[in-house]
Structure 1
Amino acid sequence: MKYPEILAPAGSKEALIGAISSGANAVYLAGKRFGARAFADNFTNEALEEVINYAHMRGVLVYVTINTLVYNDEMDELILYTDFLVKIGVDALIIQDLGVLDLCLKRYPDLDIHVSTQMNTHSVDQVKFLKSLGVKRIVLARETPIENIIAIKKEVDIEVEVFVHGALCVSYSGQCLMSSMMGGRSGNRGECAQPCRLPYTLLKDHEIVSLESYLLSTKDLMTLEYMHALIEAGIDSFKIEGRMRKAYYVIQAVLSYKKARDAYFNKTSLDLEEDILYLTKLFNRSFTKGYLFNELPKMINQNLRPNHMGVEIGEVLSYYNHQVKVKLNDRLAMHDGYRIISHHKDYGNIITRIIKDGALIKSAEKGDVVTIDVKEKIEKGAVLLKTLDQSLEDELSLYMDEHYPVIPLKGICIIKKDQPIYFEVKDQEADFHLSSDIKIEQGLTQHTTHTQVLEKLSRLGDTPCYFESLKIDLEDHLFVPVKILNELRRKMIHDILKARLKRQQKRIIHHDLNISDDDILSEPTLVVKVRTDDQYEAALSMGIKDIYIDYRLKKENPFSYKAFSNIQHISKEIKEPVIISESGMLYRIKEGVSFITDHHFNVTNIYSARLLKSYHPTSITLSEELSKKHLENFHKKYFETFKKRINLEYIVYGRAQLMTTKYCPIAKTFDTLPHCHLCEKNQYALKTQQGAVLPLLHNGFCELNIMQDKPIHLISYIKEILSYDIKRLRLDFTIESYDETKKVIADFQKALTIDHMLKPTTPHVFGRYLG
């Protein structure tokens, strides 16, 4: 059975050093652009070269994330950047964007390419599709249960990487537009503002059925106690989330998960109680074993608070004059962080004084009654939480020394009379041999001892090496000059470290990316997507021919396409015209069947369009995140680059699908089991603090789509959009009535036939079109 890799986040140099020192096999990080954690420290190009050398010298792999969507006007910069990464020896790229993926697979044939979790890969068919492109490893969606992972490993010969610890996204990654559409900061561009961590109220048929709480905020994933199951599932890499976390968090997570993994293979007993406590102290939103092990919604959500929960260490006995008296059930020390929580108060600070029996003390223990300073009035019975454990961080800071020894060596030194010194050292990768230039003679007045030789050769100073074993074979009565021993040691370490830094040169190939087929551009066409019978009948009554019909509607129409959920759970061959939303459907579609790729493919550049075009869709729907600036030259850029035309589609009306989630706030609220069907019996919605009402729509597979409160309505801009050679304009209906559907279609039909601009007559938004 393969030894799984421990893969650690490195959002800063301190975290990288800590991860390597504590035993990570690989780290993942980002440069200053194109990473999904734009607000982490990240690394300049100069720093990237430095840290790759640092990691490689210590036998640790470095994966660089390019896990954002990329626009056409950024592609030249991106290629310069990826060329640079290849030249400095990066071990793999982690990629979200389909176009970037295709480009890098062709341009760097010797480089390992990993697919980011942002590509939302969760099924055997998706993995087979990506494998066919040449991908080395898949970072699976966090929603993938272990039984699916086992099936993937059984059916596809490909490396699989799985998140085992850290923050969970409530949405399928790469399928979330909530931050983008509600606040202009795109999660697909590394700028997520985390609106899912804000309070919401659940509505049922417009009536409040839950108090305002953090109804979408997830607990943190923690699978430390389930390492045996994950190892036996055949997972190749255990990924720790946390590029925005402090180095102490990364260090402890690596130590704990390495300990659990090694215990499995060494068949040793394991007590994880202390590790779990340390992980809880460093950061937690409470823990869940997540979708990996099919947790219920109530076990996924933490609705009390969206940030660090800390560890409960005491209770407030009284308050007087900006001081509280507390009884402790765990240790408290100077410089610890704390929060005091009650029904009406959430107050936090750093400990600057601890008073016990009228005297100042540096720390207090379990059972002590102490007084601490506060700046707000606190009620009796409030709970004291420790949110920063200074002594734990002090212990872990040992691993943040950049000279921390991590390379074990085994050596032997043979010193015989009238012979050169022979020095042999092995690291994990090779054997190294040196001999002295001079022969060793018998000492007349001084004799070198075994201890002296050992001390000189094992003095490795500020290097990453240490001797695991060093055998000295020394004849008696010989004199060995200290200078010779020092020179041998320095030369040996120099040779070892130089060898560890040797890079395998990787090829960069400039491909001709032309494709063989050319589209005849459509006439300007209104296409309609419907979810209800009434919407379908309204579309027919208005003479619409191209209709995308929700797969649950039993309608027959020679011009229609069946519209499936963007999260697929079917595995049969597709034999009828269809609008598809994920790559597994490309693998399943029967040759010759007409299909359209939906906006869920996140097409933001011509290279993504080119890859999808190679599978011969009728048209390609562009991302809803593309603004006017990005749309106006899209077709022109495609034609200039590939000398071909392409049929493009853009959504000009409809509520944006803010996210698709496997978590159900309805089941959480009513404490029901999966497939309770409550979402089918009533209309549920989430209400924001600002009063916006976000409809919740089920997809038929016990998953929810959270919709925007108002539809995007671009009727004023359709002539402009058509001038960009985007000829298929989609109206996407979700909760509209028969009359509302007819009215919208009629307005857009009119707008196509008149010269002057029409304006929306109902509440609306413009999405990202205007920037």
Structure 2
Amino acid sequence: MNDKSALRREDIELLAPAGDWECMRAAVANGADAVFFGVEKFNARARANNFTTNELPEVMKFLHKYGVKGFLTFNILVFEDELTEARKLIEACIDAGVDAVIVQDLGLVKMIREISPDFPIHGSTQMTITSPEAVEFTKPFNMERVVLGRENNLKQIQKIGEQAKLPMEVFVHGALCVSYSGQCLTSEMWGGRSANRGECAQACRLPYDLMVDGVQQPMGDIAYLLSPKDLAAIDIVPELIDAGVTSFKIEGRLKSPEYVANVVSKYAKEVDKYFAGDSSDPSKEEVRELQQSFSRGFTHGFLDGTNNKQLVEGTFPKSRGVYLGTVEKILRDAVICRIEAPLKRGDGIVFDAGDPTKKEEGGRVYDIRNSGIKLEGESPEGSRIEIVPGRNDIDLNRVHEGDRIWKTSDPALDRRLRSTFETEKPYRTFPLAVSVFGQEGAALRTIWTDVKLGTTVAVESELLLEQAQKRPLGHEVLGEQLGRLGGTLFYLDQLEVSLKGDVIVPMRELNRMRREATEQLEIMREQPPQFIKREIDEFADSFSNGEAQEINPNEIKLTVLCRTLEQVEAVVGNPDVSMIYADFEFIKQFPDAIKLCREAGKRIALATPRIHMPGENGYHRNILNLKPDAILVRNTGALYYYLKERMEHPGVEHPELIGDFSLNVANHKTVNLFREAGLDWVTPSYDLNIQQMVDMLRRADTSRLEIVIHQHMPMFHTEHCVYCTFMSEGTNYTNCGRPCEEKRASLQDRIGMSHPVRVDEGCRNTVYNAIEQSGAEYLTTFQELGVRSYRVEFLEENGDKVREVLTLYRAALDGRIGGSEVWRKLKATNQLGVTRGQLVK
């Protein structure tokens, strides 16, 4: 917890989004302490306008002039053929004075540290950092701060801060991803648009039918089973500060400048109130204005803990604005409604009949009547009114009694918000301290100090001081003349006058000195910070696998990931399989799998969950107690735990550590980083298509890489539990009754595919793609590049199907059949078909 007595307003940062220049100005004008933005490449908002690399110096001068920091979003995975371009962008950031880069790819972190030991790096929420151990894993890279996963609650945030002792950045407002950031593969799977590459297709906002044990469940008007409400922590700012949050991050680089102005100003006010000792809640009107800019309904997300019922309502996937009420009666030219929020002529409204997939009636309010009397101005909440829409806006024949009415826009609010940044005046002014010295016959000397930065300039008069005949220079005259700072960044805060005798200099000379001093101080504000920058060869640490390699057939390993004991039983006697991975929903199933493998003399690895939260090390202790041959490690928190165990018990035999796809390895530098950290094997990211995979394999140590060549893609990985939300009366694992232990849920999409939903020990859900995918036709290429280990993953397959699939893959690995034959046979025997998936060019 923060020490309130030592904490200052300057210790808390309000971090605002900026998708373009207007948004950046809106952020600065409304109180942002820092702004995050992207350039044309390498950022997780590919659809935002973004800035250009050439604009970086101009952007940073603008921000620094107003005392605002600028963070560049570099929060995507970097492919092998992009490393040179990535290096050039980092160099441009250092030259332009960018205050930090927000990074997802650990290989990029490695490269940045090769370029500069002191250039600030922030670990993106895409790194999936959710535990003190995950923070500790980043410590060797000297990262300045981490952005925690949006799934961490206040108690966990406080615990991470107390244990890891690194500044923490937390999202406080905006859209919520239903999937853990950095762990969503849906867009990649369905459209080749990777969320890890800034191209999220928002599959979570689509409607789904809930299937339970293969039967569709009636859900009424609930169809958006994965679409969460929007995060709004405006009323728990004090709790966040007390929990140790130092940077309050607002989501929204795709949002409007009005949204930025609105949200930033509201949160700035709440932070200021905390330090002023004002514990009052934000007003109802302030919350409404936030809803007006953008809202799918507000929630604290996971900050209060998991409450699945509050997180997802399921009735609409897009912004609705402010709820007004329901239609009570429909007249010839109007509707009657008792409104729950103020409304005025010109506001935009929409009528919600409960099916957002159909065209909704909406438009502008032309007039408002109350008992036949025309109202002037705004109708207050609670009044029963007649809303008259514009003549051609709304077809009242398509409106029904009981329809909900939402206020979708408020032009007056937008005008007020725009006025904050559409102005010729400086957005902020800063205090100056001025000292004046002189005597007759000498120049007037002035020293000007920018109090906030501590920078100082000295300016002397070009004319010498003369004996004053009338009004001599003094505190009053100098204060008046030197304080004429309108239109500049400054205001006169302190004036110290040390003049000998009654002296004077022309007023025009004082004006010139004032202009010169403020211009110099402004230029000093715009100067970029200085960081070390070295020339590097980004491929100096790469391997050369350009020539086709001859690999002994005995070196080629086939490993199998099983999710049921039946699958383990089908594999355990197979001499072609070198190791079995057990990836069960519940840890209590592990001992049976271990026993089967031990009896058969088969090596076994146990899989960790994808997520590691504070207080969950008991799970990993249990894995170690079971003494598996290897551990499939799926996050950096778990990896840190196992590496620490190795260090603290050097004489003990430890299992092999195999890094899974979820560590997001997309280039040779990331491979090297994890191998140097202590992983024995590394699995490439599922974000790589075949060309990107080949590019990486040509420069990576392929002798220690394992490629997954067959699997059901794990698309969403989420803290939101479908079983709890829609199959129980409970709100979380403590009161849901555990329907997941008795039933099997899946989500059926618009084309009739049912995607299985599975839980893990932490009650997190993974939604798997209904269609399995195969990389069989690329096996020869992978072998020529030196890859020796290949994994086949199963989900719901029975024992017979497992044996059939493995026979085909072993034959392909041995060169007895071609990869395309595997593909054709699987397609013929699998009723759902098989897709080439993410490995397609």
**Counterpart position of 2:714:** 657
Q: Does 2:358 match 1:288? A: no
Match of 1:588 in 2: 641
Deviates more, 1:86-95 or 1:257-266: 257-266
Query: Alignment partner for residue 83 of structure 1, among 84, 88, 91?
Result: 91
Measured at CA, do residues 359 and 471 of structure 1 come closer, stay the same or move farther in structure 2, by a change above 3 Å?
Answer: farther
Cα offsets for 1:39-92 (capped at 9, x unmatched): 111101222221111111111111101100111111111111111111111111
**What is the alpha-carbon distance in structure 2 between the residues aligned to residue 26 and residue 228 of structure 1?**
20
Q: 1:744 maps to which residue?
A: 805
Q: 1:281 to 1:452 in 2, by over 3 A?
A: farther
- Aligned partner of residue 795 in structure 2, secondary structure: coil
CA offsets 1:297-341 (integer angstroms, 9 cap, x no match): 001113121111211235545546675565655443454332122
Correspondence list, 1:34-73, <5 A: 34-73=42-81
Distance 1:14 1:733, change over 3 A: same
Instruction: Give CA deviations for 1:316-372 in whole Å, capped at 9, x if unaligned.
Output: 455466755656554434543321223467635442733659999884422353411
Correspondence 1:532-547 to 2 at 5 A: 532-543=564-575, 544-547=577-580
CA deviation after TM superposition for structure 1 residue 167, in Å: 1.2
Structure 1 match to 2:528: 503
1:564 paired residue number: 608
2:38–2:73 CA contact under 8 A, matched in 1: yes
1:242 aligns with 2:242: no
Corresponding residue for 1:529? Answer: 561
1:524 deviates by 2.2
Segments of 5+ residues of structure 1 without an aligned counterpart are: 639-643
Of the candidates 652, 664, 667, which is equivalent to residue 605 of structure 1?
Answer: 667
Tell me how far 1:403 sits from its aligned partner. 4.3
Q: Give the aligned residue type for 1:655.
A: H
Distance 1:415 1:496 in 2: 20
Identical pairs, percent:
29
Distance in 2, matches of 1:467 and 1:35, equals 41
| Residue 445 of structure 2 corresponds to residue 375 of structure 1 | no
Residues 559-609 of structure 1 show CA distances to partners (whole Å, capped at 9, x for unaligned) of 221112111332556564211111123222243531211111111111111
Q: Confirm whether residue 692 of structure 1 aligns to residue 753 of structure 2.
A: yes
Q: From 365, 378, 386, give the equivalent of 2:407.
A: 386
Bigger drift between 77-86 and 335-344 goes to 335-344
Q: Match of 1:354, SS?
A: strand
Work out the CA distance in 2 between the residues paired with 1:321 and 1:720: 71
| Bigger Cα displacement from structure 2, 649-658 vs 407-416 | 407-416
Q: What do the CA deviations read for 1:687-708 (whole angstroms, capped 9, x no partner)?
A: 1122110101111111111110
Is 2:256 aligned against 1:223? no
Letter in 1 for 2:637: G
Q: 1:528 touches 1:730 (CA, 8 Å); kept in 2?
A: yes
Residues 81 and 322 (structure 1), Cα distance of their counterparts in 2 relative to 1, 3 Å cut: farther
Contact 2:444 2:460 in 1 (8 A): yes
CA RMSD of aligned residues (A): 3.1
The answer to whether the Cα contact below 8 Å between 1:415 and 1:440 also exists between their aligned partners in 2 is: no
1:176 and 2:184 aligned? yes
The residue matched to 1:646 in structure 2 has which SS? helix
TM-score between the two structures when normalised by the length of structure 2? 0.85
1:304 and 2:323 correspond: no
- List aligned pairs for 1:444-459, cutoff 5 A: 456-459=481-484
Distance 2:798 2:205 in 1: 32
Counterparts of 2:473 and 2:142, CA distance in 1 = 60
Contact persistence 1:325–1:372 (CA under 8 A): no
Distance in 2 between residues matched to 1:749 and 1:82, nearest whole Å: 44
* Mapped pair 1:429 → 2:453: yes
- SS, match of residue 268 in structure 2: helix
For 1:672, the equivalent position in structure 2 comes to 730
| CA distance in 2 between partners of 1:733 and 1:503 (Å) | 53
CA contact (8 A) 1:354 1:362 kept: no
Aligned to 1:233: 243
Residue 404 (str. 1) matches residue 404 (str. 2): no
Which residue does 1:770 correspond to in 2?
840
Match of 2:704 in 1: 647
Count matched residues: 766
Q: CA 1:425/1:632 → structure 2, altered by over 3 Å: closer, same or farther?
A: closer
Letter in 1 for 2:320: M
Identify the match of residue 132 of structure 1 among 112, 124, 140. Answer: 140
Residues 338-349 of structure 1 mapped to structure 2, 5 A cutoff: 338-343=349-354, 347=360, 349=362
Q: CA deviation at 1:270?
A: 2.8
Amino acid corresponding to residue 22 of structure 2 in structure 1 = E
- Note the alpha carbon deviations across 1:91-130, whole angstroms, 9 max, x for none: 1111001211111123211111111000100011111111
* Aligned equivalent of 2:698: 636
Q: Which moves more between the two structures, 82-91 or 104-113?
A: 104-113
Quick one: distance in 2 between partners of 1:396 and 1:148?
36
Q: Secondary structure at the match of 2:129?
A: coil
- What TM-score comes out, normalization by structure 1 length? 0.92
Equivalent pair of 2:720/2:764 in contact (CA under 8 Å): yes
Q: Which moved further from structure 2: 751-760 or 77-86?
A: 751-760
Partner Cα distance (1:51, 1:516) in 2: 38
Moved more, 111-120 or 146-155: 146-155
Structure-1 residue corresponding to 2:3: none
Is the CA contact (8 Å cut-off) linking 1:542 and 1:746 kept in structure 2?
A: no
Q: Distance in 2 between matches of 1:603 and 1:696?
A: 25
* Alpha carbons of structure 1 residues 705 and 340: separation in structure 2 relative to 1, 3 Å: same
Match of 2:650 in 1: none
Letter in 2 for 1:378: V
Amino acid at match of 2:318: N
SS in 2 for 1:685: strand
- Pair 1:354-2:367 in alignment: yes
Q: Compared with structure 1, are the counterparts of its residues 295 and 389 closer, same or farther at alpha carbon in structure 2 (3 Å cutoff)?
A: farther
Q: Secondary structure of the equivalent of 1:553?
A: helix
Map 1:462-477; keep pairs closer than 5 Å: 462-467=487-492
1:618 to 670, 680, 684: 680
| 8 A Cα contact 1:105 1:135, kept in partner | no
1:456 and 1:336 map into 2 onto residues whose CA distance is: 48
Q: CA contact under 8 A between 2:98 and 2:528: conserved in structure 1?
A: no
- Tell me how far apart the structure 2 counterparts of residues 725 and 627 of structure 1 sit (CA, whole Å): 18
In the TM superposition, what is the alpha-carbon distance from 1:726 to its structure 2 partner? 2.5
Contact 1:322 1:375 in 2 (8 A): no
| Paired letter, 1:564 | T
Q: Aligned partners of 1:28 and 1:695: how far apart in 2? A: 37
- More displaced, 559-568 or 480-489? 480-489
> Within 2, Cα distance between the matches of 1:633 and 1:471?
66
Are the aligned partners of 2:308 and 2:720 in contact in 1 as well (CA < 8 Å)? yes
- Aligned-partner residue type, residue 664 of structure 2: N
CA distance in 2, matches of 1:487, 1:360: 59
State how far apart, in whole Å, the 1-side matches of 2:329 and 2:247 are. Answer: 50
Q: Is contact 2:348–2:365 with CA below 8 Å preserved after alignment?
A: no
Output one character per residue of 1:187-235: Cα deviation in whole Å (capped at 9) or x when no partner.
0000001010111121110112242511111111111222222112222
Q: Deviations over 1:415-458 (max 9, x none)?
A: 98847555444431224443423345566689999888656544
Q: Distance in 2 between matches of 1:365 and 1:421?
A: 62
The code of the aligned residue for 1:297 comes to N
Superposed, which structure 2 residues align to 1:483-522 within 5 Å?
483-510=508-535, 514=541
Unaligned runs of 5+ in 2: 1-5, 647-653
Distance 1:351 1:408 in 2: 43
Q: Is the 8 A contact 1:125 1:585 kept in 2?
A: yes
Partner Cα separation in structure 1 for residue 387 and residue 501 of structure 2: 65
